[in-house]
Chain A
Amino acid sequence: MSAVDGLSTRRVGMTGRVVLHVSPRAVVVGAVTLALLVVLGILTLTMGKLGIPPGGLWTAISGHADGKEKFVFEELRGPRLSVAVGAGAALGVSGLLFQSGTRNPLASPDVVGMTAGAGAGAVVASLWIPLLPLGIGAFAGAAVAAALVYLSTGSGFAVPSRIILAGVGVSAMATAFIQYVVMVKDQDESLSLAGYLAGTLSARTWGQAQFVGLACLVLLPCALALGPRLRLMELGDAMADSLGARAGRTRSLAILIAVALCAAAVSAAGPIAFVALTAPQIARRLVGGPHGAVVVSALTGAVVLVAADLWVQQAGWLGDLPVGILTAAFGGVYLGVLLVKEWKKGSA
């Protein structure tokens, strides 16, 4: 039994196949999630009052449409969908790296205070450096929060319970600061700021899509390359060391990549809660083993975010609320259920 009650790894008994090997199940799951993502993407572009009619979809994507369809694709839904896919994938992999790097199925950028930190960073930018885009502030804030948690635990990211508590502390400071700034701004400004702080995908630009896309392009291959070593990590530090995975270094690398991915996602879409926590959880359950987890986590993250965004766009009663509110509510409940299950199992 390792770590803290219930926060321990669930695959202690797993046999680590060291050979790079892709299981047929992972391939099938990957293909199905990819297909689901494509379907959700098409729905995002075609549904609703402003939707592009399915017949004209290809012309719009290939850039030959004009008028309303061109506008809807190039200004509204295109960038929104691209940011959702990119940010979702980045968050999914970020969560996976956190979870396997710290050997804690509940670790995620949210738990280490990065989402709150991103909000505080954005708020600093809006208060003191008006020329700086909110996204860059969020990027810096997320990184600073992760660094603070890392430094204040006294043991880096090694002990799950301490990470959680330190994350709660850092989040509390960030939240207090956010509340202060939201209070001093005038009402219109603070209302739009509050929208961004909840994590929103409305009014995205191609620039943001490119940024998060580029981050994925660079960092996802790194995560893939780290995959085999991370699988060894799940056997425990000592075992991983003896198999040549160098646990300490692998953990630091994994978390560095995870922080960068999460920061890229929040800078494009604001602090969207709990996607990073839930996507890898779902992905691991679907894949049923450690192989292919990176790819499936990326796809699951994208599916979760695109689906949530489709919902807030099309369900009238939600009134186009920031998507982060939906992910926070559902992700929070999911996390609660997960915790209770885990604790029931652990406290025999």
Chain B
Amino acid sequence: MADTRTLTRQEAPAAGFLPWRVPALAALVALLLVAVLLSLAFGSKALSFGQIWTAVGGGGPEHVRDVLDSRVPRTVLGLLVGGCLAVAGVVMQGLSRNPLGDPGLLGVNAGAATGIVVSTAFLHLPGSPTWAALPGAFLAMLIVTTMGSGRRGVVPVRLVLSGAVVTAVLTAVIQAITLTHPNAFDDYRYWAVGSLAGGGADVMEILPWAIIGLVVAGLLATSLNALALGEEIAISLGSNPAVTRWAGIAAATVLSAAATSAAGPIAFVGLAVPHLARAIVGPDHRWQLPAALLIGPSLLLIADVVGRLLLRPQELQVGVVTAFVGAPVLLWLVRRTAGESS
């Protein structure tokens, strides 16, 4: 019993000014710049920073510009997807005061995947449009939150278990569809591994959704702070928890669906980034959100670069890298929260 209770507890946002936050954010901006540079420089062919600089200015040899032409969209996609996933994670964790909020763990990725498989198999739509992913993602999110909520609010382990159940059932649906529709199977297997290789077209596809989701999430920052103090206190502070909850669920789902439709189901970025952000700038959501927006893309781009370098000249998709880095993070969280209770 003690186990879950400590898992649900999260410190209330501290009042007052924390002097290290501004330099911390500046450091995160620097980290993001480094990640972007790495993402432009490394791959099957490495470029020097000097070469990148001249090519960005429009000069330099043609082959360098060609390499960059493929790496720039990929990097932009990484920025966008990483930001979406990280902010979705912050909102999910803030809403439910649940340290295990993550679009992958809570079944939202599986819901988005189901929507996309249905759209390719039955509507014969090319690619993986966000609007096809959205209904599935919403449905999964609703089922999981309804299942996982008790009378005293959300219990993290329940949410994760509900997410696992929903994922299992939806995976069965996906398998049934893909095994009987070879075309959908082929699209699905390239998409489901989680990759940033899609590039420019995907960026344009998800940009409007990402902007909507990020703006709503940003507007919710103070309400999330109020909610973190508990439902009663939030009401007495003048915020409406029901509105916060629904707007938050909507924002988190749109962000996850957008990221998933562009890059495939990428696990654990949404889980790990909010924890890092809290550790760096504290629990105040007005700081957590921008920090997550910086950390998420940095981590995703670095994971992508690692994947490109590990199997050169082939590449390991970023979804595989994040799973193998993120799962140990989950296990560490599990052990740490358990350690508190003993």
Which of B57-65, B179-187, B210-218, B273-281 makes up part of the contact surface? B179-187
A219 at the A/B interface (Cβ < 8 Å)?
A: no
Write out the residue numbers on chain A whose beta carbons fall within 8 Å of the beta carbon of B179. Answer: 191, 194-195, 198, 321-322, 325
Across the interface, do B327 and A179 meet the contact criterion of CB distance under 8 Å?
A: no
List which A254-275 residues lie within 8 A (CB) of chain B. Answer: 273-274
B54 at the A/B interface (Cβ < 8 Å)?
A: no
Interface residue tally of chain A, by bracket?
35 or more
List which B184-226 residues lie within 8 A (CB) of chain A. Answer: 185-186, 189-190, 192-194
Which of B13-21, B35-43, B167-175 makes up part of the contact surface? B167-175
Convert B318-336 into 0s and 1s, putting 1 for each residue whose CB lies closer than 8 angstroms to a CB of A.
0110111011101100110
Across the interface, do A180 and B320 meet the contact criterion of CB distance under 8 Å?
A: yes
Cα A154 to Cα B337 with chains together (Å): 12
Across the interface, do A166 and B331 meet the contact criterion of CB distance under 8 Å?
A: yes
B26 at the A/B interface (Cβ < 8 Å)?
A: no
Partner of A153, one of B192, B268, B326, B335: B335
Which A residue's beta carbon lies closest to that of B185?
A191
Q: A191-B179, A195-B179, A332-B165 are in contact. Are A183 and B330 (CB under 8 A)?
A: no
Write out the residue numbers on chain A whose beta carbons fall within 8 Å of the beta carbon of B297. Answer: none
List which A37-74 residues lie within 8 A (CB) of chain B. Answer: none
Across the interface, do B150 and A332 meet the contact criterion of CB distance under 8 Å?
A: no
A170 at the A/B interface (Cβ < 8 Å)?
A: yes
Write out the residue numbers on chain A whose beta carbons fall within 8 Å of the beta carbon of B182. Answer: 187, 191
Cα A172 to Cα B265 with chains together (Å): 11
Across the interface, do B164 and A168 meet the contact criterion of CB distance under 8 Å?
A: yes
List which B1-55 residues lie within 8 A (CB) of chain A. Answer: 1, 3-4, 7
Partner of A169, one of B193, B320, B328: B328
Write out the residue numbers on chain A whose beta carbons fall within 8 Å of the beta carbon of B72. Answer: none
Write out the residue numbers on chain A whose beta carbons fall within 8 Å of the beta carbon of B316. Answer: 180
Q: How far is the CB of A318 from chain B (nearest CB, A)?
A: 8
Write out the residue numbers on chain A whose beta carbons fall within 8 Å of the beta carbon of B189. Answer: 179, 182-183, 190, 194
Convert A99-135 into 0s and 1s, putting 1 for each residue whose CB lies closer than 8 angstroms to a CB of B.
0000000100011000000000000000000000000
Partner of B338, one of A162, A319, A321, A343: A162
A-B contact pairs, 29 of them (CB 8 A): A152-B335, A153-B331, A161-B7, A161-B157, A162-B3, A166-B330, A169-B328, A175-B323, A176-B194, A179-B194, A179-B320, A180-B316, A182-B193, A183-B189, A183-B192, A187-B186, A190-B189, A194-B178, A198-B175, A198-B179, A319-B180, A322-B175, A325-B175, A325-B179, A332-B172, A335-B165, A336-B169, A346-B150, A347-B150
Additional A-B contacts beyond A166-B334, A325-B175, A347-B150 (13; CB < 8 A): A2-B1, A106-B161, A155-B338, A162-B3, A165-B160, A169-B330, A172-B330, A179-B320, A191-B179, A194-B178, A336-B147, A343-B150, A348-B151
